[in-house]
Amino acid sequence: MSNGGKFGYRERQLALQLRQERKEEKAREAEEIAARYTTEARDSRAVRRAEEALNREAEKAAKEAKEGKKITKKTK
């Protein structure tokens, strides 16, 4: 006895809906991962820039101190 093909249609619709939900979930997960890596990259760049700035300041201070010693030696 046939059910008029309605059960098959309903099954296909449910399968389609489940596939769509999985696809949306994967897309959502991918967006979260991308956002997390973007944030981590931004943070690491900020840290690296801060470290480079500190190094530049330390080098500048050392250079100025070295030049200051040269000047005091010449004046003595």
Tokens matching residue 6: 């309605």
Q: What pLDDT does 66 receive?
A: 84
Q: What pLDDT does 69 receive?
A: 74
Q: What pLDDT does 6 receive?
A: 66
Alpha carbon separation from 21 to 1, 12, 18 (Å, rounded): 33, 14, 5
Whole-structure pTM value: 0.49
On the question of pLDDT at 17 being above 80, the answer is: yes
